[in-house]
């Protein structure tokens, strides 16, 4: 076997509590992204279940902002393990994306999940720019720890507010790579789902969805469109009133994230 | 409800040990989402469409999908936003298939592929895992979603 950096071996997960037997390798740990403030990001790599050496690397980010990639991406969506009801054991996800790629889940920015900062004020002034910058720093350092992924086909994916994180990180990588003839981060593309894209157009499209799916009345639909200026920094009182009426009196007790699914009690 | 299972599992001391996580003893419990971060988010681009334009020009593979039962960032929101990129259509709108059923609809623009996933909410791979995997395979391969 090729020699691997020591830190990589220290990050190897022997077995997670309650985990079924699997044939793929897993690693997790921290990468410091800002020494002065003590900001460190936590990652979990689940390698592909077949020939990981030939498969691409996919970085998955969740949205929020402030939501965990290992809670949603890994444990609910594309990861190999699901958690049982009592949280006592894990079971396999038949449709895990690690059949096709090596999956890198990243808790980002610091303050999300296991990622942390030693400077508590950081939690109150984080935003898009720092997130993208530190995700890039994470990747560069992570690839030094996992050199087998240098030059490997690399993709980014995510959902919801990661509609910001994913293209913003892609742009950072694209700009960073311009300085190299053969960049180590071999970014090929990205994919986003139900992604926040443009405040103005997203908002009009969202209200339209509520109306076309009979979640709100004609009257409320017209009221929202006439009172809400979706380009404004702050919504007017009349706009808030119309939207709140829809949510409190017309939506009903539904799961807004999946309108035909029973709500979790 | 799966989120509540994660809250339990990731707060177990033995799980954190196995993950080499929380070595510095973070002074709060592990949570799926941080309220502090969301309340204090400092800067947020009003639109990422300019980034799309730049990266499309750079030749990156870009796919956008949408679960059609999500009302938080719904399919109409995404379509309305993407329409303002004014991209020429490369492959016209058609239903794509998985397991002999319509799995959604798709359209390929020059530089970007858009696809809906039928019956999926905000977290597409949670609600429609098989369809999501077909989508991911096609994305990686750079191939069109199956027409039958």
Mean pLDDT by 10 residues, chain B (148 residues): 93 97 92 96 96 98 98 98 98 97 98 98 97 98 96
Per-residue pLDDT at A2: 47
d(CA A167, CA A164): 6
Nearest CA in chain B to A57: B140
DSSP 3-state of A11: helix
Mutate to test the interface with A, among B31, B136, B137, B142 (most CBs of A within 10 A): B136
Residues of A in contact with B106 (CB under 8 A): none
pLDDT in tens, A108-143: 999 999 999 999 999 999 999 999 999 999 999 999
Per-residue pLDDT at A1: 45
The closest of A127, A135, A154, A172 to A43, measured between CA atoms, is A135
Judge whether residue A265 has pLDDT over 90.
Answer: no
Q: What is the mean pLDDT of residues A185-211?
A: 97
pLDDT in tens, A19-32: 999 999 999 999 99
Task: Determine, for residues A114 and B84 on separate chains, whether the beta-carbon distance falls below 8 Å.
Answer: no
Mean pLDDT of chain A: 95
Buried b / exposed e along A139-156 (16+ C-beta atoms within 10 A): beebbebbebbeebbbbb
Judge whether residue A191 has pLDDT over 50.
Answer: yes
B116 contacts B105 by C-beta, under 8 angstroms: yes
DSSP 3-state of A223: helix
B89-98 vs B101-109, strand pairing mode: antiparallel
Mean pLDDT of chain B: 97
Interface check for A4 against chain B (CB to CB < 8 A): the answer is no
Q: What is the mean pLDDT of residues A62-79?
A: 96
ipTM of the complex: 0.97
Task: Determine, for residues B121 and A255 on separate chains, whether the beta-carbon distance falls below 8 Å.
Answer: yes
Nearest CA in chain B to A170: B55
d(CA B127, CA A91): 17
Query: What proportion of chain A, given as a percentage, has pLDDT over 70?
Result: 98
Residues of A in contact with B137 (CB under 8 A): 100
Per-residue pLDDT at A233: 78
């Amino acid at each position: 076997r090729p020699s691997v950096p020591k830190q990589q071996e220290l990050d190897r997960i022997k077995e997670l509590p309650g985990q079924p037997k699997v044939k793929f390798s897993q690693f997790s740990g921290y990468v410091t992204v800002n020494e002065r403030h003590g900001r460190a990001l936590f990652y979990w790599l689940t390698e592909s279940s077949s020939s990981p050496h030939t498969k691409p690397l996919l970085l998955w980010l969740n949205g929020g902002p402030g939501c965990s990639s290992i809670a949603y991406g890994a444990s609910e969506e594309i990861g190999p393990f699901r958690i049982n009801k009592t949280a006592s054991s894990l079971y396999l996800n038949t449709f895990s994306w690690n059949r096709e790629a090596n999956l890198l889940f990243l808790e980002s920015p610091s303050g999300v999940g296991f990622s942390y900062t030693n400077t508590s004020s950081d939690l109150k002034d984080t935003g898009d720019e720092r997130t993208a910058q530190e995700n890039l720093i994470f990747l560069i350092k992570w690839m030094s720890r996992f050199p087998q992924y240098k030059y490997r086909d690399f993709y980014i994916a995510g959902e919801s507010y990661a509609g910001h994180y994913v293209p913003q990180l892609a742009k950072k990588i694209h700009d960073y790579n311009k300085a190299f003839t053969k960049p180590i981060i071999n970014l090929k593309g990205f994919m986003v789902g139900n992604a926040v894209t443009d405040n103005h157009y997203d908002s009009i499209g969202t209200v339209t969805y509520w109306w076309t799916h009979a979640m709100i009345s004609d009257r409320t639909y017209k009221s929202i469109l006439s009172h809400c200026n979706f380009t404004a920094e702050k919504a007017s009182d009349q706009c808030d009133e119309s939207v709140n009426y829809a949510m409190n009196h017309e939506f009903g007790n539904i799961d807004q994230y999946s309108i035909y699914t029973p709500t979790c009690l | 409800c799966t989120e509540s299972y994660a809250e339990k599992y990731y707060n177990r001391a033995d799980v954190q040990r196995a993950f080499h996580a929380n070595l510095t003893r973070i002074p709060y419990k592990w949570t799926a989402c941080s309220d502090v971060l969301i309340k204090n988010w400092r800067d947020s681009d009003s639109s990422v469409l300019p980034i799309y334009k730049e990266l499309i020009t750079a030749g990156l593979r870009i796919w956008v999908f949408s679960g059609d039962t999500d009302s938080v960032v719904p399919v109409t929101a995404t379509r309305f936003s993407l329409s303002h990129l004014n991209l020429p259509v490369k492959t016209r709108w058609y239903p794509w298939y998985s397991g002999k059923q319509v799995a959604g609809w798709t359209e390929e623009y020059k530089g970007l592929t858009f696809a809906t996933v039928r019956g999926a909410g905000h977290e597409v791979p949670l609600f429609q895992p098989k369809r999501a995997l077909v989508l991911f395979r096609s994305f990686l391969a750079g191939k069109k979603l199956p027409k039958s």
